[in-house]
């Protein structure tokens, strides 16, 4: 396993050339599907399959940092059992949390209804990740 990145660690610069970024996408896709638990593999790997090709440099960096965390910790953040720390409260985490809700509440795998609706759900997830709704706790004084 690669060394864990910390919040204060100096990150190597993002590669600018297309070939290097595609290589990073492949590496992150592999890591997403090889987490250590089948549940995490399925959730995070499926998420990566849906979104990695659309991620820009910043989202790739956010996803790379997220993959450094342990599966139970990520699971707690996704399900809302624990508050997402500031360093991971970003667009990728919002997409992942909404992806989890979408697949948790969708019709059974293989159904025509599921197949037709998932692409629309993914489009909505991207919009919602960019424009998160106001939280009640943030509004209270």
* pLDDT in 10s for each residue of the chain, 141 residues: 455 555 544 455 555 688 889 999 999 999 999 998 888 999 999 999 999 999 999 999 999 999 999 999 999 999 999 999 999 999 999 999 999 988 887 665 555 554 445 555 556 556 656 665 554 444 333
- CB of 41 closer than 8 Å to CB of 33: yes
Distance CA 126, CA 58 (A): 15
- CB of 66 closer than 8 Å to CB of 94: no
Structure tokens at 114: 């599921």
Compute CA distances 45 → 31, 49, 91, whole Å: 8, 6, 17
- Beta carbons within 8 Å of 90's beta carbon, 6+ residues apart: 62
In order of start, what are the domains of the chain with their CATH numbers?
18-134 (1.10.150.250)
């Amino acid at each position: 396993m690669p060394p864990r990145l910390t919040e204060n660690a100096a990150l190597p610069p993002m590669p600018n050339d297309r070939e290097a970024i595609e290589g990073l996408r492949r590496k992150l896709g592999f890591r997403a599907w090889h987490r250590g638990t089948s549940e995490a593999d399925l959730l995070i790997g499926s998420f990566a399959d849906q979104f990695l090709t659309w991620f820009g440099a910043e989202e790739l960096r956010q996803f790379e940092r997220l993959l450094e965390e342990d599966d139970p910790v990520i699971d707690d953040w996704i399900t809302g059992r624990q508050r997402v720390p500031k360093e991971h409260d970003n667009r990728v985490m919002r997409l992942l949390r909404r992806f989890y809700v979408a697949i948790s509440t969708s019709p059974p795998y293989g159904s025509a209804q599921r197949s037709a609706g998932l692409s629309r759900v993914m489009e909505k997830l991207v919009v919602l990740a960019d424009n998160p709704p106001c939280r009640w706790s943030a509004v209270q004084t």
